[in-house]
Each structure stands twice: as C-alpha cells, then as structure tokens.
Structure 1
C-alpha cells in the first residue's frame, strides 16, 4: 500500500494529513526528535510540536521526556486494536440511537425484511429461528423440509412448538416431545407455503420446495418486525392450523410453569386443550392510555374467530378485562407476554 493510501485511511480515523505523515515518519525512524520528524516528513517546523502533541493525546505517540525530548510511535497493532474497539462501540451506539429514534415514532423496533438466496442458507435461517426463540415456535411445512430441522427441534424442550405438516406416520423424535402440538395439514393449497416463526422476533417464508438443480437459485424471505410477524401468525392459524387436523396434544402437565407465550392465538389454542379457569399473568399495554400494565387473574372465557382472538380475565378484585394480542384495538389490554399457570 502506498503512503498516500495509508494517509487517506488514517484520515478516516480522525487524523489530519500532518498527523498521519508524522506517525508514518516515526514508524520509519523510531524514537526521534521533533526536528528529525520535520526534516524527514516535510511538516513545517512551526506546526510539528502541535502535531506531535495531538498525536500523543490521540494515543499514537509516546513522549519520552528528557534532553532532547523524543517522540516514539505506539505499536501499530495496539493502535489498530484500540481503533477497532472504538469503531465497533461507535457503530453499536449509533445502531441503538437509530433504533430508539425509529421506535419513538413507530412504536416498534426497526423492521428487517431480507431475501435469502440459496436453499442451504434458508435451512440455516430456519434453524436459527428455532434456536433463538425464547417462548414459542410455529412451523408449517412439508415433512421433507421438517426433517431438515430435526436436530434444532430435538434440542428445544424449553419452548412450546406448534408444527403442521403432511404427516403420514409421526416419527418418535416428534411424537415423544412433551412441548409439541402436531397437526396434519389439510389438502392443497394449505401446504403451498412454509412458515417458521419464532416469538415476535423472526419469521421465515418460502413457497414450494426446490428440486435439486434449483437449490442454488432458491429464494426465501426473512423478516424481523413485530407488526409484520403479528400478521404472519394470524395467517398461520386461520389459513393453516384451523384447517388442519390436530394429531398430538401438548403434555401440559409435564411442562415447567408458568408456560410463557407471546401470541394470543397460541394461548387460546392451549386453553382449548387444558380448559379455562387457569391462573394467568399478562404483561402489556392499556389501550386506553398506552401505559405499561400487568394483569393477574384467572381466564374465564375466550373468543376465537378468523377476525378476533381475545381472552377474558377476572382479577382478584373481580374486575373483568378483555385481553388481545399485539395490534389489539377492540380489547382493554394489548398483551405482549402471557404467563399461563
């Protein structure tokens, strides 16, 4: 790399042209007097002391006090590691600042929607969703693709999973999992799309599976957006799950309590199996004034249609509140996290 290119790159890290020249010169000379740096670099004598003092403050030069005073270059490896650390910290701080600005206006984190190229990359993203989920995973896919996710699914006993597929015979690695609800898909077009959804954090979608020769040209779609995923979950239930036949229930009594979930339709799906009159804790927002609230009580009823989904909670004080999921506008509470006992 020529000297001019090095100077340009150093200027990107906040050094002036003279500071860059002085540091490069010291690397060539080693510990030197200011007059030596001036003579070798061409930096004006009237500027050299200010330049070397600034380099010292920025951590590029050590000052060796004595007679004469010498200036030594700091090891480039140490300098670059410090710059790297500061750059990463600055990027992370900017990222958080940008996300906070977006969230102040839109009420959610900055959405990410990506096109994933290649079948293997799609499998990797689907496995990541399963690994990263904290509470629940929703999957609708042909069994051919489900087998690709076997290892990731087998490792997760700590999240609730609802899996829809065109099962012929359910394998033991699924049938023996206590935390899984299984459903056999209806006829086409119910399996025209594959969905893998983790909490309200990530979702993956693609259409039909590729033939071998098309795997490199295969595309899928990746989303990170709570509002978008809320719609995906609605489609998952109303298009797929509600038109499929349940073939394995959740072993609810064997699960650790509370069971923590993020989607109102998943909560209702569990309640349909285990019954209402269950203690529940909901963390969410009041639709009246958008303040953060926590509601504790017992589920006494639920409403579930293609258009609406909510539960009615009776608190210890006898107050009855209707709680919906993300995007609620008809209920009293917009639930974000549900803890079912």
Structure 2
C-alpha cells in the first residue's frame, strides 16, 4: 500500500442545501485510500445533473439517503480525470502516476479525490484530461441506454429527445456508431452543434412537434421528459423501445418518481417496451468510451472550460439549463 502522508487540501463544499451561493472553498484533510481504492490528483472535472440534485437536496426524497437537514457528504463533484498518487490495499489495476478518469460519490471538485477502482479506467495516450473528464456519467448513461436497454442495431431509427445536453450529445454519436439512423430533437441554438456530431435529421422543438410528424421510431431515448407517455408511444413502432433517463420533472418532494412509476406500470400492459434507466458505473464501459474518443470516433462536446476556482460560477450557469454538451473544470 502506498501511503499518503497526512496533509490538507482545498475542496469545494456545500455545508447546507441550496444553489451555487452556498458553495465555498475549505481546507480539509487529504483523503487516504481504503481497500480497493486509489487517491487521484484531480486535473479536470465535469458537471452533471446529479451535482445539482445533491447540491439543492431536491427532490426532497433523496435527503433520506443523503442527509435530512444538511448534506452528509458536503464535498461535491462526481466526474474527474487525473493522476493516481496513492493506492490502497488489494489494488493491482493502477499504480502511482497512472492517468485515470471516472466517477466518485463526491469530492471531484477538489485537489485530490478518493475513488473505487471499479469506477475508474486508464486514459489512453493522446487523450486530454479535460476530454476524459467530460465522458464518465454522460457517456455511460448514453451507452447503457442505447446498447443495453435499446439494443440498438444497424438500420434502426432512433429518436433522441434532448439531444444537445451532456447525455444527448453522447447519445447522438453512439447511436450512429451502433449503426442507427438518428433523429435529434433540440432547441434552435443547438441545431448546428447536433448536426456537426452526426445526427441525420434535426428537429427544432420550438418550431416542430416530433410527435405529430407521422414518423415512427424503433427506439426513443428521452432525456427531456417533456411529453406524455401517450405521445411517446405514438411515435414508437409496434415493438419499439422507450427509454427514460431524465423523467418528467415532477415536484420538489418526489421529483420524477411518479413519472418513473408510470413508465414501469405502463410497460406491463402494452406491446411496446418502456424502461427507466439508472446508470451503473462500469470500468469496461469507461474503457470502451475512452478508446472511441482516442480514435476520434467519439467527440465529447465541451461548451465551457473554467478553472476549478470558478466552480460556483460554473454551477450557477449550469443550473440555468439549456447547456450544449458538458462544462469542464480544470486544475493546474
């Protein structure tokens, strides 16, 4: 086991629930790796919707697991890339100095973070840290939705609703890699971005209603949750698959829980397949996505690059919504 001498570091924390205004930097103890863990010197991190949910404590239902009155884990951030500086007992996958990326349960917006090796992968030679940091949660969500639930095969028609966001920009590209004909739904400002990453057809939701075109799709990957299940089913083929990642917004108490329940219940009574997606971190998926990126076949869309010192500013902008791709934070 490689030891990390007792030291401190700077980290962004959220001592209470709220918006970006509650964030602050603190000096905290540097993490020490446990069994099956490593400590990573963070060089880049990216934002995801999960960061906002944990920061605001909404829907309130999640506070049952993460702290009723205040966060149990005040350190935030889930996606990172950096170098291994210490390894815990039983770790053979990585050594000190290895460049890695992946997900952590919290603490990515800091100088150092502790991570389980099962949620990390090596960064291939030639792939930048910032690009690797943009991949984990969004890339794995898109991949697991399309490959594992949708079982996309060449020639199928895939519609991606919410195609310009973090998951959406990965989904467009991965659906094409899997051989599908891709229709992407997004807002006016993002039309060219989505075309540039390979969508065959792009629908501006401010001008056209994809549920009224009469075209049916083998897979609908829903990242927006802004239509009824009846409308989504109307654009599916008879044996089509609907995949919900975002779910309808819902209320502050239960969020998308009611929506996801409706998806599960409807699936029992119709010929089409309706499934909710919960991404599960997997090193093999990270390795696959990184290889595609290193080969130039997958291009993470990065809308903003800001220094880690501007985390609060970045999260404030991210919370306003309508982002194109990912926001990446960089550290020296």
Does TM, scored on the shorter chain, surpass 0.5? no
**TM-score w.r.t. structure 2 length?**
0.22
Tell me which structure has the larger Cα radius of gyration. Answer: 1
**TM-score w.r.t. structure 1 length?**
0.21
